[in-house]
Amino acid sequence: MTEPICPNPPEWAKLHEAVRNAVADGETFPKPLILGGWTFSSDSEKRERWQETVDWLEARGLRGLIDTHIGGAWYRG
């Protein structure tokens, strides 16, 4: 089985909403690649944006939100 690239769009959107509710106003969370961003992004761009997201969450002690909102819903290319 291949390694996951990033979450599937619906789960990535749920995570984005949860993070928006968990951080102070004005903090900029990396935009999820969903909708048009998903369609026009390569797998490597999706992986890069996802890594930016993971790094951002880890820096704020919020990495646990990934398990809570993504579960097993991963895009594998």
Per-domain residue ranges for the chain?
A: 12-23+30-75
Write out the DSSP string of 2-39: PPP-EE-HHHHHHHHHHHHHHS-TT--PPPP--THHHH
Three-state secondary-structure class, residue 74: strand
**Confidence (pTM):** 0.86
Cα 21 from Cα 40, distance rounded (Å): 27
Please give the chain's pLDDT, 77 residues, in tens. 688 999 999 999 999 888 888 777 667 778 888 777 888 899 999 999 999 999 999 998 989 999 888 988 899 98
Asked if 4 and 70 touch (Cβ cutoff 8 Å), the reply is no
